[in-house]
Structure 1
Amino acid sequence: MIKPYLFAGAAAVGLLAGCATEANRAPEPTYETAAKSEFVATNYRVADSLIAQFGSGAEGGPLIVATVVNIDALDQSSTLGRLISEQVSARFSQRGFSMVEMKFRSNVYMKRGEGELILTREITEVARVNKAQAVILGSYGMSGAAVYVNMKIVQPGANYVLAAYDYVLPSNNEIRSMLTRANR
């Protein structure tokens, strides 16, 4: 037979454990807190820096943005890499550059779940077909506390780097969650 005081004690411990778990859980983000994320603003600053280095190339033909890839596996990307590429492309477009939307092209190397990965040997041909003046590409590498990102504007054919920018993202929950969704 269970003694009443043991049952009451076990119930109290169970309630306290439930409260402790609820208290330790982070609150759901709201639209307001999500809007405070620095991720988009950071990628826009990257694009603005590349544009400042590249100059007024808006009249020189369209640009192509390749998916930002994992530096340790250049044929792989993640949600992080794809979002950086999309946001940099959006900022170039906002600044008056013509951008070739590669998702609608069937003649570009596309790996399911990876995005618009462009192999070096294909850059010249894709740029020629699209009359692109340059390709924006990048890579990221992870460390314990940060994700290091390198972005470049490269002249196809000659492979000259026309502009470059390095930056660091914190390895926080937001960034780590985008890195773990590599092949979805």
Structure 2
Amino acid sequence: MLLGCNTYSSNLRNKNISGEEFINRNHKAVDSLTTQMSGKVHKDYPIVISTIVNMNQLSQTSSFGRLLTEQISGRFTQQKYSVVEMKMRNDVLIKDDQGEFLLTRELKDLATSVSSQAVVVGTYAVNGTDVFVNLKVVQPNTNLVLAASSYSIPKTRNMVDMLR
């Protein structure tokens, strides 16, 4: 029985994903969102990207969540969307240097202050072998979900450090 556990553990450690594949999965998710958003969200009006947070503790993120946020923001910019850089704003709630969190009651106020037509929010959840990521594009004045994308990324030893 111990031998079986050892085999499972070593298979998990050998499951790798390159940095390029990690970025490609995040970009593919944004590409899916932008396809769904077609005709609903105009590229000329600002969108806000919220920090991707831990699904089990919505007020916390990690290096992993902040990296996802940066890649998602960058991809929206590459797709020619007007993205508001949240780190440059002073009126965004920042908790414990973990990132920019959009609480539901503040969503409308923030969207109004930057004339945002959409907010991208997301969560991640970790299990033994994968990290699951869920992204949504929300219309701030109605809280309607305009687009959604879910995907998984194999959990690697390097990723474990980023998830702390």
Paired letter, 2:32: S
Instruction: Tell whether the 8 Å contact from 1:58 to 1:96 is kept in structure 2 after alignment.
Output: no
User: Which residue number corresponds to residue 42 of structure 2?
Assistant: 58
Q: 2:130 is matched with which residue?
A: 146
Partner of residue 88, structure 1: 72
| Structure-2-length-normalised TM-score | 0.85
Match of 2:8 in 1: none
Provide the secondary structure at the position in 2 that maps to 1:163: strand
| Counterparts of residues 1-150 of structure 1 (less than 5 Å) | 37-56=20-39, 57-59=41-43, 61-150=45-134
1:148 Cα deviation from its structure 2 partner: 0.8
Task: Tell me by how many angstroms 1:179 deviates.
Answer: 0.2
Deviation at 1:60, TM superposition (A): 5.2
Structure 2 residue matching 1:169: 3-state secondary structure: strand
2:44/2:81 contact within 8 Å kept: no
Higher mean C-alpha displacement, 91-100 vs 110-119: 110-119
Aligned to 2:141, the other structure's residue is in SS state: coil
Once structures 1 and 2 are overlaid, which stretch shifts more, 128-137 or 53-62?
Answer: 53-62
Which structure exhibits the higher relative contact order, with contacts defined as CA atoms closer than 8 Å and separated by 6 or more residues? 2
Runs of 4+ with deviation above 4 angstroms: none
Amino acid at match of 2:35: A
Give 1:38 shift.
1.2
State the Cα distance separating 1:42 from its structure 2 match. Answer: 1.0
SS in 1 for 2:80: coil
The Cα offsets for residues 75-125 of structure 1, whole Å up to 9 and x where unpaired, read as 000011111111111001011100000101111101132111111110100
- Percent pairwise identity: 41
- Tell me the secondary structure at the aligned position of residue 37 of structure 1: helix
How far does residue 37 in structure 1 lie from its aligned partner after superposition? Answer: 3.5
Distance 2:44 2:75 in 1: 17
Larger-Rg structure: 1
Give the 3-state SS of the residue equivalent to 2:42 in structure 1. Answer: helix
RMSD (Å), alpha carbons? 1.5
List runs of 5+ in structure 1 lacking aligned partners: 1-33
How many angstroms does 1:39 deviate by? 1.2
* Helix, strand or coil at the partner of 2:20: coil
Structure 2, unpaired ranges of 5+: 1-16
In structure 2, C-alpha distance between the alignment counterparts of 1:77 and 1:124, rounded to whole Å:
22
Letter in 2 for 1:67: T
- Number of equivalenced pairs: 147
Q: Is contact 1:135–1:155 with CA below 8 Å preserved after alignment?
A: yes
